[in-house]
Structure 1
Amino acid sequence: MKRWGLMGLLALAACGPDDSSDKGAQSQVCPNIIAGSLSEPVETRHVRAPLTDDDGRQRVIIRYRNQGVMATARVHQVGGQVTATFRSTPAVAARMSLQEQRALLAEDPTVESIEQDQEWRALAPATAPIHPILASVARGATPREFTPGLRKVQAHEVWDVDGDGLPDPDRPTGAGVRLCVIDSGLDLEHPELRDAVVAGRDLLEDDDDPSDFSSGHGWGTGHGTHVAGIIAARPGHGGRGSPQLSDTGVMGVAPGVELIITRVLDIHGRTHMSFVLAAVEYCAEQGAKVISLSLGGGVPSKTTFEVFAAAHAQGILVVAASGNSNAQRVDYPASDPHVLAVGAVDSLDQRATFSSGGSQLALVAPGVDVLSTFPRGQGAFSTVDVRDTRPLSRSLLYAPIENKWGKLVDCGGGATLDSCKGSTCSGFVAYVRHGEVPTDMAMVNVMKQGARAVIFANSSWEGGVDILTMPRRGQWVPAVTITQAGGTVLHRMLGELARISMSPADYAYMSGTSMAAPYVSGVAALLFSARPSATPDQVKHALLSSAKDLGPSGHDEDFGHGLVQARGALEVLTQLP
């Protein structure tokens, strides 16, 4: 799930004097600097954001008695607009004026209730410290396409018994199983996923093109492409990923699974409950055995309960991310009794700092610094070089992909317009201790002082580096994050020439329970592939009873039943009657 809480800050050129009395700071910000995020163009909001109803109408769910007979006609009679009619529950989604039209419907004896069509969100990428030693997929690793997360959940032990790095014939790879990803859409031409998609639907625009790209508006978040790659990236079909990846790319947990792609998230990572419920019904229509949900944030209702119950009754296992708020309760719909809730762990099997837990948490899976597919050319791999010192680094998502160099200048926490001591308007590389102010605010402050690139050093966790995100639109400079240890070394090199190099990639690192849920979804697909007649309850039992116990013995609120284990789950499933 995706946590988007980034500050929307518009910072235009500022040329006035600086009030700081610190003689080490320049007396004024640099002229003609435009820095900060920009609001979405009007045309983009209208086309791609389903939550903006300029006519003043609001979105509601109308539940009817008697199986909703004539429900659609009655909504039209009072002037409302039906946007979805559900089959698994007697309800319709509609846009209507709450004052007049709702009052008329409320008087109708066939109406059971009128409820808000809740806003749900993708809640990743989350900020999470990663361990530098175990974080990267090493160049030349054997087999090359196996990521640390894939190994951690034992996926390769199910379909690569001979250890040659490729799926073995007649082993379960997800082949014959349809898995539905309900998310932001997909880069349908990504080489790792192009052959995986068998059906798709865009619920926002009501067409059969679930692309995460819109002509004239560019790419969406890339969230759905990242999720889909964790599940289904094909062997030997790599995209652009040098120098960190070979031309074979990465491999998904279930590299033979058939993907159904449903787009419900707009370019801001938002949606309405009705779109998700309609997507669940579409997935069922298309024969899905597994549904993967890396979104949520609503509250349960009778309508949502009935839709997820119907999916379970049709033989579908629904998997959802637990949430990124570090709460001791999982978000909805992960908390639904017919949904499997998945939290996130890091490379050392510790609970991710953002991962929500609680009594309803079922499993955990890798969710920190996860490498997966991303819209072509929109991801980036980075290198930081100061006097031949190259600390582990990660480029900021959605920041410019450029190469920059300059004197390394200490900008503290980037909290003020005089934070960069020894800055110059001719350009420099800002060294910023991350965490004192929001990332985008620190970026604006140092850019106004002349920074042409930014290095964020993690200052709050020993040995880690954060995955950070910039607002999607705006004027920014290239930026990376590094470990605290790397930051300590670079801090001794202030004044030296620093180089930041970035190469466009068809891949990206992301963190969040959004990344953990598809690992479990992929493992579930492997089990259905091995035993097509299995029920959702049988697959769930195999997943839970075979999980690697990470916390106190048995189920606990930090790890659920433990880390999902594909080989162990398959062994349990094959022993069931």
Structure 2
Amino acid sequence: MKRWGLMGLLALAACGPDDSSDKGAQSQVCPNIIAGSLSEPVETRSVHSPLVGDDGRQRVIIRYKDALAVRAASRVEQVGGQVTATFRSTPAVAARLTPQEQRALLAGDPTVERIELDQEWRALAPATAPASSFLSSALQGVTARELSAGLRKVQANEVWDWDGDGLPDPGRPTGAGVRLCVVDSGLDLEHPELRDAVVAGRDLLEDDDTPSDFSSGHGWGTGHGTHVAGIIAARPGQGGLGAPYVESTGVMGVAPGVELIIARVLDLHGRTHMSFVLAAVEYCAEQGAKVISLSLGGGAPTRTAFEVFEAAHAQGILVVAAAGNSGSQVVDYPASDPHVLAVGAVDAQDRRASFSSGGSQLGLMAPGVDVLSTFPRGQGAFSTVDVRGTQPLSRSLLYGPIQNKWGKLVDCGGGESLDSCQGSTCSGFVAYVRQGEVPTDIAMVNVMKQGARAVIFGNSRPEGGVDILAMPRRGQWVPAVTITQAGGTVLHRMQGALARLSMSAADYAYMSGTSMAAPYVSGVAALLFSARPSAKPDQVKHALLSSAKDLGPSGFDEGHGHGLVQARHALEVLTQVP
């Protein structure tokens, strides 16, 4: 599965002879260059990643033979363990135990059915996106009145905008009256597009009621939850920083009237454990959610998880989850759970994205390539590349420096070595790198040590993929962008010309992944519950599946499920249910 990208490279400091002239092809680096991500201090991990402990304890799930949760918790504490969650819908607790003494003592308890490791799960974005789709979706962009190509593709506006003016019509289903729970990395709670949408929230990691994706002294997390929430619920006419790339009124969510419940379970690096997610599902149910949106996963099915999702379904909740970004024919858990609706990703041409996982449990498809949505304020960036008046479509790398740079465009091949940049100079240049030949982090370090002050990643792979990548948040980097294969072909002919990279901070960002597809379906489900508050989860699910736009082979297939979710058609099916 593709993960969050360029992580874990140690800081590399290069010291060499002072040489500010063109070096040509020499295995020599510029002096005093520091390039790469810095390893994260232990104190940062322990304080701001509650998933990691320094006392040698393991995170486990303890299942009991019957529903004696109160007694179970006291027994864990008696042996010196720490209970982190007590589940209501299954006879189990989450705990932290020493792997030898405390776990051994509890394993011998006759009331204990089994003890298993508390699985690590992760956010499911970003991912590789096909270049042709990248170009097409970007050109469509956000149209008048904030209607994105993805929103129109799933027919959301056809449910609440009958007069075609781009705004929700009075009395039409917008998600109003429906609570939808986003279980993710938390939120930029002051984002202008979302601050009026949140009605309840819980930080399961920090055990408080402020589910923010920001940590004082350590900055923003991944922004993943803010992006997901915007796809679902961005409010009309509440635009943030993004001009001229985004309309001044911003973007609009699939269900612009829905009430959001925010449950933070992902840490600053997009990681969590199964117990936090299951506890969040129970919290969502407590708060009256009708839909739960999960853009995370990575574990294996367990009886504990099965029973928690089964209970949520019994309480009238539809749980929607991302199918996974491995590109395999196996849907990730928990999307593969029988009580969860799995969602894969399509591009702007309704083709299955190359990264999107499939399989027999796949339910629906939704837009998941180059999706524009909300992002923590000022942490997103829009980029422009200009070489001799040519401006190929570009995307800035997430979390990279937001700076303007210029210099001679130098061919650095794949950035595979310290002599890959032909005609480089320590006085600075813009590196053109064919992305994908070596890991992107290594390529970045290699060209930076040769004097690059900015990097343009072009794509040379036959299938034309382009990565919307993420930079490590700690370390020394230069601004970097990715461009399409077509743009790379043009720039490759302009080596030696003056290249300019311009970046502007934004409250929005582009991402790709099934993480982006799942919230489209979650939002459509909220529209259906808004139109039919008495509907059962199975009725809404049936309406979604039976009305989907067929893709690929006729009927259900493991690559596309039942097809592309269609909000208006699904509502028509639901209204016919007795």
The TM-score normalised by the length of structure 2 is: 0.97
Q: CA deviation at 1:75?
A: 0.6
What SS does structure 2 have at the residue aligned with 1:167?
A: coil
Q: Is the 8 A contact 1:2 1:122 kept in 2?
A: no
Gaps of 5+ in 1: none
How far apart in 1 are the matches of 2:357 and 2:523? 21
What SS does structure 1 have at the residue aligned with 2:373?
A: strand
How far apart in 2 are the matches of 1:75 and 1:24? 66
How far apart in 1 are the matches of 2:17 and 2:276? 51
Q: Is the 8 A contact 2:236 2:251 kept in 1?
A: yes
Identity %: 85
Q: CA deviation at 1:44?
A: 1.8
Give the 3 Å change call, closer, same or farther, for CA 109–461 of structure 1 in structure 2: same
Give the corresponding residue for 2:292: 291
Does 1:238 pair with 2:242?
Answer: no
Mean CA deviation greater in 130-139 or 415-424: 130-139
What SS does structure 1 have at the residue aligned with 2:382?
A: strand
Q: CA deviation at 1:219?
A: 0.3
What amino acid does structure 2 have at the position aligned with 1:479? A
| C-alpha distance after superposition, 1:376-406 (max 9, x if no partner) | 0000000000000000000000110000000
Mean CA deviation greater in 223-232 or 121-130: 121-130
What SS does structure 1 have at the residue aligned with 2:345?
A: strand
Q: Is the 8 A contact 2:140 2:149 kept in 1?
A: no
Give the corresponding residue for 2:562: 561
What SS does structure 1 have at the residue aligned with 2:307?
A: helix
How far apart in 1 are the matches of 2:334 and 2:17? 52
Q: Is the 8 A contact 2:23 2:424 kept in 1?
A: no
| C-alpha distance after superposition, 1:135-194 (max 9, x if no partner) | 22657x642401111011000000001000100000000000000000000000000001
What amino acid does structure 1 have at the position aligned with 2:39? S
Does 1:412 pair with 2:449?
Answer: no
Gaps of 5+ in 2: none
| C-alpha distance after superposition, 1:10-54 (max 9, x if no partner) | 242222489xxx983145200000000111233321122122110
What SS does structure 1 have at the residue aligned with 2:207?
A: coil
Does 1:187 pair with 2:176?
Answer: no
Superposed counterparts of 1:163-312, under 5 Å: 163-312=164-313
What SS does structure 2 have at the residue aligned with 1:172?
A: coil
Give the corresponding residue for 1:13: 13
What amino acid does structure 2 have at the position aligned with 1:224? G
Q: Is the 8 A contact 2:124 2:322 kept in 1?
A: no
Q: Is the 8 A contact 2:23 2:425 kept in 1?
A: no
Give the 3 Å change call, closer, same or farther, for CA 413–27 of structure 1 in structure 2: closer
How far apart in 1 are the matches of 2:375 and 2:557? 34
> How many residues are treated as equivalent by the alignment?
573
What SS does structure 2 have at the residue aligned with 1:261?
A: strand
How far apart in 2 are the matches of 1:133 and 1:446? 27
How far apart in 2 are the matches of 1:192 and 1:2? 29
Give the corresponding residue for 2:124: 123
How far apart in 1 are the matches of 2:139 and 2:194? 20
| C-alpha distance after superposition, 1:327-346 (max 9, x if no partner) | 10100000000000000011
How far apart in 2 are the matches of 1:557 and 1:27? 49
How far apart in 2 are the matches of 1:489 and 1:327? 33
What amino acid does structure 2 have at the position aligned with 1:418? D
Give the corresponding residue for 2:400: 399
Give the corresponding residue for 2:136: 134
How far apart in 2 are the matches of 1:122 and 1:40? 20
Which contiguous aligned blocks of 4+ residues in structure 1 show a shift greater than 3 angstroms? Answer: 461-465
Q: Is the 8 A contact 2:201 2:263 kept in 1?
A: yes
Q: CA deviation at 1:463?
A: 5.9
Give the corresponding residue for 1:387: 388
Q: CA deviation at 1:460?
A: 1.2
| C-alpha distance after superposition, 1:37-87 (max 9, x if no partner) | 111233321122122110000011111123025111111111111010000
What SS does structure 2 have at the residue aligned with 1:13?
A: strand
Give the corresponding residue for 1:24: 24
How far apart in 2 are the matches of 1:113 and 1:142? 55
What amino acid does structure 1 have at the position aligned with 2:254? V
Does 1:466 pair with 2:467?
Answer: yes
Give the corresponding residue for 2:339: 338
Give the corresponding residue for 2:453: 452
Give the corresponding residue for 1:42: 42
How far apart in 1 are the matches of 2:30 and 2:568? 59
| C-alpha distance after superposition, 1:345-371 (max 9, x if no partner) | 111111111110001000010000000
How far apart in 2 are the matches of 1:157 and 1:286? 29
Q: Is the 8 A contact 1:129 1:461 kept in 2?
A: no
Q: Is the 8 A contact 1:2 1:512 kept in 2?
A: no
Q: CA deviation at 1:483?
A: 1.0
How far apart in 2 are the matches of 1:212 and 1:375? 8
Q: Is the 8 A contact 1:377 1:506 kept in 2?
A: yes
Q: CA deviation at 1:473?
A: 1.6
- For the aligned residue pairs, the C-alpha RMSD in angstroms reads 1.6
Mean CA deviation greater in 531-540 or 100-109: 100-109
Mean CA deviation greater in 170-179 or 60-69: 60-69
How far apart in 2 are the matches of 1:3 and 1:161? 40
Mean CA deviation greater in 478-487 or 22-31: 22-31
What amino acid does structure 2 have at the position aligned with 1:147? S
Q: Is the 8 A contact 1:130 1:368 kept in 2?
A: no
Mean CA deviation greater in 168-177 or 27-36: 27-36
Give the corresponding residue for 2:4: 4
Q: Is the 8 A contact 2:17 2:31 kept in 1?
A: no
Mean CA deviation greater in 37-46 or 93-102: 37-46
Q: Is the 8 A contact 1:386 1:498 kept in 2?
A: yes
Q: CA deviation at 1:470?
A: 1.5
| C-alpha distance after superposition, 1:246-266 (max 9, x if no partner) | 210100000000000000000
| C-alpha distance after superposition, 1:384-437 (max 9, x if no partner) | 000000000000001100000000000000010000000000000000000011
What amino acid does structure 1 have at the position aligned with 2:60? V
What amino acid does structure 2 have at the position aligned with 1:51? L
Give the 3 Å change call, closer, same or farther, for CA 476–516 of structure 1 in structure 2: same
What SS does structure 2 have at the residue aligned with 1:67?
A: coil
